[in-house]
Amino acid sequence: EVVCILKGLVEDGEMHLSDGRRLLRPGRATNAVLEGTIVVHPNFRMFVLANRPGFPFLGNDFFRECGDVFAVHVIENPDHTSEVEMLTRYAPEVPLEVLQRLSAAFTDVRKCVDDGTLQYPYSTRELV
């Protein structure tokens, strides 16, 4: 998985690319940087997104695989007002009332996930 490959760059300061080039963080680069070596900018930062572990997501458990080198922050679904505002930016031509009803429906579906009635954790991504 891509996230685990990125872990190598963060943890070791080096990552080999499939085309033979490699990335090095500045502290690992020497004055005699070889051709095919890309020195990563000192201000480079990664924001890595991952699904929560477990069903229905079949990827790696992010925290188990990479939690020791990344600062993990869980981002919950937005509240109804924030979600509707975000939706108006995605679909400005859709009437506000429709967006409000859609967000309310997803809020209800998410409550069903929380109480165990449904298993799939619907997010704003599915709503969009």
Q: What is the pLDDT of residues 8-42, one digit of tens each?
A: 888 888 888 889 898 888 877 665 567 788 888 98
More confident residue, 70 or 89: 89
The residue with greater pLDDT, 68 or 108, is: 108
69-77: average pLDDT: 83
Mean pLDDT, residues 95-119 taken together: 94
Q: Which residue has the higher pLDDT, 84 or 56?
A: 84
Structure tokens of 127? 């709503």
pLDDT averaged over every residue in the chain: 85
